[in-house]
């Protein structure tokens, strides 16, 4: 083993600020922040509706909120996978 510390991924270590890393990651996978924002919106709406749930049981309300949040995230991941497959196999020029 060599004693020198060579970087395995030098292109990832050139950006040192957290915001530039975050922006680069959002450009690479644009549906991840969409899924995170949708999850936060569903949880926020569920917490708002918690006060006005009427005679619905708390456990049933929480189950509905969990299913809605998971559905949004799974949908965003699916769209991201389809988008990356489209970019990889359709838009990418043939070599």
**Residues 21-72 pLDDT 10s:** 778 877 877 777 887 888 888 888 888 888 887 888 888 988 988 898 888 8
Mark 17-53 as b/e (b = at least 16 C-beta within 10 Å).
eeeeeeeeeeeeeebeebbeebbeebeeebeeeeeee
Q: What's the pTM?
A: 0.60
Which residue range(s) make up the domain with 41? 13-91
Query: How many domains does the chain contain in total?
Result: 1
* 62 belongs to a structural domain: yes
- Residue 2 domain-assigned (yes or no): no
């Amino acid at each position: 083993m060599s004693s020198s510390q060579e970087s395995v991924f030098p292109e990832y270590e050139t950006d040192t600020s957290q915001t530039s890393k975050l922006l680069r990651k959002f450009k690479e996978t644009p549906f991840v922040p969409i899924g995170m924002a949708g999850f936060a919106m569903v949880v926020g709406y569920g917490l708002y509706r918690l006060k006005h749930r009427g005679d619905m049981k708390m456990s049933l309300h929480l189950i509905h909120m969990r299913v809605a949040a998971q559905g949004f995230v799974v949908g965003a991941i699916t769209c991201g996978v389809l988008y990356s497959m489209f970019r990889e196999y359709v838009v990418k020029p043939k070599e």
